[in-house]
Amino acid sequence: MSLLSKYFTLGLVLLLSAQVFAAKDAKELPPLDPKFMGVHPMILVNNGSDILASYLPSYQAPKNHQLIYKLKVKDVALVQLVRDGGLITIEPKPFNLQRLMRGEPVSIKADVYLGHFKRDGMLTYKNMELNFDRKLYHRTLTELAPSGKTREYDAVDLGKNYKLLIHKIQKAPSFDHLLVIDEVAGCLLKFNTSSATPKESELHYKFFHCGTIKPLYYETRDFSS
């Protein structure tokens, strides 16, 4: 057997082995829980050309999840809409949220709204295909801290010195809050505010020494009770 044939055979064996192990891993995933099947609205936000989808959670199971994904987007028009349009929400066709909870790449059809899809938002794209590429964050809203004046945020590395800050939702009244900063050294992620639901401007002041701040989303209405 020639050296070239040996290399070809070795490469073929390695490829087949990788496929076998991948298939085995896929088969080992537990069955999807049907209770997570449904319509799961989200907001779309951006960090530069990157588009992130953040789940709109509630206190009631099975929708009691803070969940953020990075999308794989090729449509320049969608990037421009998210970058320039203010609040952008999506109403996906029914799918099983557990697929995102366990970090799968998923392709989902969704209606895209300029504004809140339930609060007079304007339908901008219908049945747009969105590719959920990578899970960035997941937190289940169980055993929540009592509502109070103490705030706590989680930080997710977005690369190039950017950090996504996510407020850890408490018991009602509370709020959902996302922002991007370009520096995290010396940035306090736990602090006190004047109330359980402070103004967004007060929160931004608390991050004044964290570097450049880009507000993404702030919502109190869904967590008032």
Question: pLDDT of 121-167, one tens digit each?
Answer: 999 999 999 999 999 999 999 999 999 999 999 999 998 889 999 99
pTM: 0.85
Give the range of the structural domain holding residue 159, as residue numbers without chain letter: 145-225
> Distance between CA atoms of 26 and 14, rounded to whole angstroms?
18
Mean pLDDT of the chain: 89
Query: 173: which residues sit within 8 A by CB, 6+ positions away?
Result: 147, 196, 197, 220, 223, 224, 225
pLDDT at 198 over 80: yes
Task: Provide the number of structural domains found in the chain.
Answer: 2
**Domain assignment of residue 191, yes or no:** yes
**Domain assignment of residue 165, yes or no:** yes
Do both 37 and 138 map to the same domain?
yes
Q: Which of 102, 122, 142 is the last residue of a domain?
A: 142
Do both 138 and 149 map to the same domain?
no
**Domain assignment of residue 3, yes or no:** no
Do both 37 and 137 map to the same domain?
yes
Quickly count: other Cβ atoms within 10 Å of residue 165's Cβ: 21
Do both 130 and 216 map to the same domain?
no
In this structure, are residues 44 and 52 in contact, taking their beta carbons and an 8 Å threshold? Answer: yes
pLDDT score, position 184:
62
